[in-house]
Amino acid sequence: MPKEIATPSKTREILDKYGFSFKKSLGQNFLIDVNILNRIVDAAGMGEADGMMEIGPGIGALTEQCAKRVKQVEAFEIDGRLIPVLEDTLSAYTNVTIHHEDVLKADVETVLQGMRKNVHETAIVGNLPYYVTTPILMKLLEQKLPVARMVVMIQKEVAERIAAKPGSKEYGSLSIAAQYYADARTVMIVPKTVFIPKPKVDSAVLCLELRQSPPVHVKEETFFFQVVRASFAQRRKTIWNNLLNNFVGKDNKEHLAASFEQAKINPQRRGETLSMEEFAELSNVLHEYGSLFDK
């Protein structure tokens, strides 16, 4: 088998061979540590009868480690300059298919449904560009895809926000949105020194174990997330002020006050102190008055 891609010398050899230059606009940072890649694959928990979908394979460092472990790998790469590179670096692996597509625009669900005909279980992995981490994750989570889990390397600060618990300064609407769909845990912190080029901040490997059903009951999901987002519109303000100014409108003070009383939530609390269960209860009560509010 060829020398592993994720070493400093092999990575530089590939970059030099193709005269590849990094595009800042695509947030390209290639990992040069095989041990960390193996931790990602380990966390995905897939075996030889399973499949993996990868986002942003780059020059194929993580793709290679996935291909060694599972039956089928489908990878989405937005940068056309990397397609011939990947065809070269992954030529030894017949179980890899590269899709030259933006994963935000791609029909991921159809690809995964096709995989399900050939594999037992599927996971999504990837080293996500910092600038589109949240849109990618939320698209994949909201689609409720047929995958067991997602294991992604993202900016450490974003990972902390996604996995945050109520009462912490990191906890916010992103925490609730992600945890509504998945159980989130940080697998490891990844120092910026193990990338080419070196990013300005450290990264983290985040595992999102997809839920079979949400942990709370909400009457209407879109409405629930609107309430959550409005509650964090200005973090230093109370949930009363945030909802009054950013959701229900000042003409509905009476209905808002009644909603807080019915939900048994103190309106002087801040959004970061409310659990997902409390947000769900408040959202369900507010939903009864929904036609009165400007959403």
Q: State which residues form the domain around 229.
A: 221-292
Which residues are bridge partners to 208 per DSSP? 150, 184
* Residues 195 and 275 reside in one and the same domain: no
* Residues 89 and 235 reside in one and the same domain: no
The annotation places the binding site for S-adenosyl-L-methionine at: 29, 31, 56, 77, 102, 127
- Judge whether 158 lies within some domain: yes
- Judge whether 3 lies within some domain: no
- Judge whether 1 lies within some domain: no
Last residue of a domain, one of 157, 183, 210: 210
Residues, the chain: 295
- Judge whether 2 lies within some domain: no
Q: What is the DSSP letter of 41?
A: H
Specify the CATH number for the domain of residue 238: 1.10.8.100
pLDDT digit string, tens, across residues 51-79 = 999 999 999 999 999 999 999 999 999 99
- Judge whether 140 lies within some domain: yes
- Judge whether 50 lies within some domain: yes
* Residues 46 and 192 reside in one and the same domain: yes
* Residues 174 and 284 reside in one and the same domain: no
Q: Among residues 199, 190, 182, 197, which one has the least CA distance to residue 156?
A: 190
pLDDT digit string, tens, across residues 145-203 = 999 999 999 999 999 999 999 999 999 999 999 999 999 999 999 999 999 999 999 99
- Phi (first) and psi of residue 185, to 5 degrees: -145, 150
Number of domains making up the chain = 2
- Judge whether 229 lies within some domain: yes
pLDDT digit string, tens, across residues 119-138 = 999 999 999 988 899 999 99
How sure is the predictor about 293, in pLDDT bands with cuts at 50, 70 and 90? Answer: low
Specify the CATH number for the domain of residue 182: 3.40.50.150
SS (H, E, C) 50-90: CEEEEECCCCCHHHHHHHHHCCEEEEECCCHHHHHHHHHHC
Enter the pTM of the model: 0.92
The annotation places the binding site at: 29, 31, 56, 77, 102, 127
